[in-house]
Amino acid sequence: MQILQPASAPTSPLASPNLTSTTSTTFSLNVASCSSEATTSNNSSTNTASNSSPCLLLQHGEGTIDPNWQATKPSVRERNAAMFNNELMADVRFVVGNPGHTQCIPAHKYVLATGSSVFYAMFYGGLAEDKEEIEVPDVEPSAFLTLLKYLYCDEIHLEADTVLATLYVAKKYIVPHLARACVNYLETSLTAKNACLLLSQSRLFEEPDLMQRCWEVIDAQAEMALRSEGFVDIDMATLESVLSRETLNCKEMHLFEAALNWAGAECLRKEIDPTPENKRAVLNSALFLIRLPTMSLEDFANHAAQLGVLTPEETIDIFLHFTAHSKPNLSFPTRTRAGLKPQVCHRFQSCAYRSNQWRYRGRCDSIQFSVDKRIFVVGFGLYGSSNGAADYTVKIELKRLGRVLAEHNTKFFSDGSSNTFHVYFEHPIQVEPESYYTASAILDGVELSYFGQEGMSEAAVGAVTFQFQCSSESTNGTGVQGGQIPELIFYGPTQPPEDH
């Protein structure tokens, strides 16, 4: 049997290359996926045999390759890359994945040991075992191949569907650079839709930085995070952490509904009917982290009290808490959550008004801004009438690269002073660092208003620095130096206390 060398590195990390021989009478080694079914050849003239490893298939091959492949690869990296997922000179094989869904992956002990202390101990340590085949049932094959791709080729290719599995395998084999790349990827792709599930995973992986980023999103966009599909898949410890969180920015009714949705999914996981009684049973003590007495009386009476989860005694006691002078002792917390405190970026140093200045007529006031840290825009501060009290209607909008992220039509009352008047979006909008966003407002009302002057191109608020530049969408005169939209209201990191 003749084993020939490959002409080039494999192009796909998901399958080993076919190593073909120079004549029709020689054989080559081809990696086959381990499964409960035997692999057969479609060519009736192909002879197959098996050797000592169930991962290997001896297959008749045809074709020619260059036996002098090393000459075409001038660097160590290129030659190492040619060995990735390749049987050539492989001295260990991994059977990766759950039983029945495994994949056999060839490797080279030297390459693995130089990239991971775990592999070094496994192959060259004092208790090393000389195994030709190692089972890894707790790792996904695609994630294991991503690990090997990095060790062989210095390349990291991450995908949303497999990045958590890759983080797990990087932690398992102590490959910190790959683990850090996974965390960075998760942080940049973090949204309210996946924050709760990533929080659950980051707790398991002991990634405090990722946990902190998840909490920032969950606090600011709590309602969207609680309604995400992934929320029902978090573990009990994470659920309790969310329910006990002091800084969540949402109504208590939304927390109660989210907890019951989680309980319904947990009932299905336990293969029991999701009845109100069973939901209460699976929630157990977590139910008493929900601050039911802090709901509005309307929310409690029309929703929470009618879902069948509370006992009659609990329901009566909470009603008495709402209405009676002498309030009963409750098993539920009675203090309202603090929530998040909005911060305000002021971009003008003064304001003014002049006759026949700053009219609207349906035109757009707009400004571009960027930040150096992730924030969540809540709304804008606007100037009102300089000619006595007046009502305004306004359409506010936030865009990125021309795409509308959020818009809201609302009203505000101006008392005729130079104060700013705050208008809000329906939900906070996540704003990523180092990218420009466009804030716009179209006002309708008394045309003469105050306007800002002595504008700043850069302003720092807490731990966040804002950069401003003029917007081409501004058709009413607003720019960096002066105009409307004097304030951006946001949730974001605060300045850490200085060490003394």
The CATH number for 274's domain is 1.25.40
Answer yes or no: do 181 and 83 share one domain. yes
CA gap 245, 228 in Å, rounded: 18
Answer yes or no: do 399 and 362 share one domain. yes
Determine if the pTM surpasses 0.85.
no
Answer yes or no: is 6 within a domain. Answer: no
Answer yes or no: do 174 and 276 share one domain. no
Token pair for 321: 């808490």
Answer yes or no: is 310 within a domain. Answer: yes
Tokens 């049987």 locate to 87
Answer yes or no: is 64 within a domain. Answer: no
Buried b (16+ CB within 10 A) or exposed e, 343-354: bbbebbeebeee
CA gap 259, 240 in Å, rounded: 10
**Of residues 85, 90, 80, the one with CA closest to residue 148:** 85
Answer yes or no: is 316 within a domain. Answer: yes
Q: Look at residue 495 in the predicted model and tell me its pLDDT.
A: 65
Answer yes or no: do 79 and 185 share one domain. yes
Q: Look at residue 58 in the predicted model and tell me its pLDDT.
A: 34
Q: Which helix (H) or strand (E) holds 92?
A: strand 92-96
Q: What is the largest CA-CA distance in the chain?
A: 98
* Single residue among 323, 355, 388 that ends a domain in this structure: 323
* Single residue among 189, 221, 243 that ends a domain in this structure: 189
Q: Look at residue 202 in the predicted model and tell me its pLDDT.
A: 87
Specify whether the CB–CB gap between 149 and 21 falls below 8 A.
Answer: no
Answer yes or no: do 248 and 347 share one domain. no
Q: Look at residue 9 in the predicted model and tell me its pLDDT.
A: 37
Q: Look at residue 10 in the predicted model and tell me its pLDDT.
A: 38
**Of residues 346, 340, 404, the one with CA closest to residue 380:** 346
Backbone torsions φ then ψ of 41, nearest 5 degrees:
-95, 145
Residue 206 CB-density burial (10 A; 0-12 exposed, 13-18 middle, 19+ buried)? exposed
Q: Look at residue 65 in the predicted model and tell me its pLDDT.
A: 60
Token pair for 445: 């009302």
Answer yes or no: do 364 and 477 share one domain. yes
Answer yes or no: is 9 within a domain. Answer: no
Answer yes or no: is 279 within a domain. Answer: yes
Domain range for residue 82?
69-189
Answer yes or no: do 348 and 478 share one domain. yes
Tokens 């999103």 locate to 217
Answer yes or no: do 241 and 163 share one domain. no
Answer yes or no: do 351 and 484 share one domain. yes
The domain spanning residue 88 has which CATH number? Answer: 3.30.710.10
Answer yes or no: is 40 within a domain. Answer: no
Provide the domain count of the chain: 3
Q: Look at residue 55 in the predicted model and tell me its pLDDT.
A: 60
Q: Look at residue 356 in the predicted model and tell me its pLDDT.
A: 57
Token pair for 299: 């929310």
Q: Look at residue 447 in the predicted model and tell me its pLDDT.
A: 77
Answer yes or no: is 149 within a domain. Answer: yes
Query: Any idea what the Cα angle at residue 457 is, between residues 453 and 462, rounded to 5°?
Result: 100
Token pair for 180: 């850090």
Answer yes or no: do 369 and 481 share one domain. yes
Answer yes or no: do 462 and 429 share one domain. yes
The domain spanning residue 409 has which CATH number? Answer: 2.60.120.820
CA gap 134, 14 in Å, rounded: 19
- Average pLDDT across each block of 10 residues of the chain; the chain has 500 residues. List them in order: 38 36 33 36 36 42 59 87 90 92 93 94 86 91 96 93 93 95 92 92 87 94 94 95 94 96 96 96 96 95 94 95 92 94 95 76 92 96 90 95 94 91 95 94 88 94 95 93 95 65
Answer yes or no: do 486 and 423 share one domain. yes
